[in-house]
Structure 1
Amino acid sequence: MSQDKVDLKSLRREYVVGDLNREDLKADPIEQFGVWFNQALEAYADEATAMTLATADSEGMPSARVVLLKQYDADGFSWFTDYRSEKGQQLEHNPKAELLFYWPDFSRQIRIRGLVEKLPAEEGQLYFSQRPVGSRLSAASSCQSHPVESREVLEKTIESLKAQYPDGNIECPPNWGGYRLIPQRFEFWQGRPSRLHDRFVFQLSDGQWTIQRLQP
């Protein structure tokens, strides 16, 4: 049965929250990210950390999913996952990615592009030990992104792990840990009326950040 065409062209949103001028920008994009991120934290709490992670396989086929930012500093932006997942396998063959933060109440997006590296194992182990017991059980019992016969199989594996670790002290699996994206390019996007948006790109060149306005 074919799906009737869903026409969404009449839907329209006007961006009237604010503007972004060259003189408003920090010279360091990490600092500029921090300004916007802290404002988003106040408005969204934990949801401000949600970011789309875009990767591509060895043949260039892209994929994207939402993950949670767990730490950032001058060295980059980090998250944690199963290394055997789709994103893990893609990063193994093609260690380049882009992050996208979108905060609709502010009509803002930030794109961050760069190279990706694994975090030291001890950082993954430390964070794993700080997670709730249920999250540790799920991570230890699941081979992320791989097929499973049924949910019942997953739940039985969880129960088996609970019996194996009655104190809840589950060890961090060797295939679980963190990644860090080392930025090479930032884009700050501020929605404006009539789609005449403000867009500024920070590009890393010879260790220095250059700033350029883009057409919307």
Structure 2
Amino acid sequence: MVRYPSDSLDLPHMRVSYGEKLVSSSPVDSGDLDEASLADGWLPLFSQWLVDASEYVASDGGRIAEPNAMVLGTVDDEGFPATRTVLCKGADERGVVFFTNYESTKAQHISVNPFVSATFPWIALARQIHVRGRVEKVSDEETLEYWRTRPRGSQLGAWASHQSEPIESRELLLGALDRMAARFHDVDEVPVPPFWGGFRIHPKSVEFWQGRRNRLHNRLRCELGDGGCIVRVTRVQP
């Protein structure tokens, strides 16, 4: 019988004990999530949890890497789902924004099935947020505004990469980056590639998850109407 490194892991007994105060340096309140937390809509609580994740410091001084990371789920034209981690780069009453190559696999999926999910997995804080909704491209003006905040190297990388397409070696990819650096050497502001931009998820539902003892987690699901207003909050069993 072939043995693998994972065979030495006790997977059935791997678990986190939720419901305790995390660490003294944590900004997170240990009180229970309840319906009153959503009295002003989904966005204030979403924003506060995002701030908490960005400010969290563990007892050993560690922080949450990329607290704005979310797992984006799409479905292709054959009904197969796919997930990957992207970065949330905007959130307001209209929804949640991310940026990507418009020729990537995720963008191809969106072109045939414009409904997605996104999960913010803040496990260290015993929190998650799940967003589901319709997605559409943001305006060129919004794309340009965000593009100008990106480091030059990231801008050149966007030009160099044919995202999701096969490539024979990393050396070829780095060579493409060098060519883009030479192409825009005398340009003060690298332009936005015509194949690159943002998407906005317009939430149909937003669920807040809070880890609690005995796996009896708190789950509050918001169903949203026009304009992102909450029309119903449902407590869901874990």
The structure 2 residue matched to 1:99, chosen from 118, 123, 126, is: 118
List runs of 5+ in structure 2 lacking aligned partners. Answer: 21-29, 57-62
Please name the residue that 1:213 is paired with: 235
**Equivalent residue for 2:12?**
9
Q: Is the 8 A contact 1:28 1:209 kept in 2?
A: no
Distance of 1:3 and 1:85 partners within structure 2: 37
- Which residue pairs with 2:95 in the alignment? 76
Specify the SS of the correspondent of 1:58.
coil
1:38 aligns with 2:51: yes
Counterpart residue number, 2:209? 189
2:39 maps to: 26
Match of 1:142 among 161, 183, 189: 161
CA distance in 2, matches of 1:42, 1:101: 15
Tell me the TM-score normalised to structure 2 length. 0.84
Give yes or no for the alignment of 1:128 onto 2:147. Answer: yes
Instruction: Show CA shifts across 1:108-153 (max 9, x none).
Output: 0100100000011222123223311111111001110100121111
Higher relative CO (CA 8 A, sep ≥ 6), structure 1 or 2? Answer: 1
Q: State which drifts further: 126-135 or 60-69.
A: 126-135
Alignment match, 1:155: 174
How much identity, in percent, do the aligned residues show? 40
Aligned to 1:170: 190
Looking at structure 2, the residues matched to 78 and 170 of structure 1 have their Cα atoms a distance apart, in angstroms, of 22
Indicate how the Cα distance of structure 1 residues 61 and 3 shifts in structure 2: closer, same or farther if over 3 A, else same: farther
CA displacement at 1:42 relative to structure 2 = 1.5
The answer as to whether partners of 1:189 and 1:197 remain within 8 angstroms in 2 is yes
1:83 & 1:35 partners in 2: Cα distance? 31
TM (normalized to structure 1)?
A: 0.92
Q: Secondary structure at the match of 1:9?
A: helix
Report which stretch shifted further, 37-46 or 55-64. Answer: 37-46
Specify the SS of the correspondent of 2:200.
strand
- Name the count of aligned residue pairs: 216
* Structure 1 stretches lacking a partner, 5+ long: none
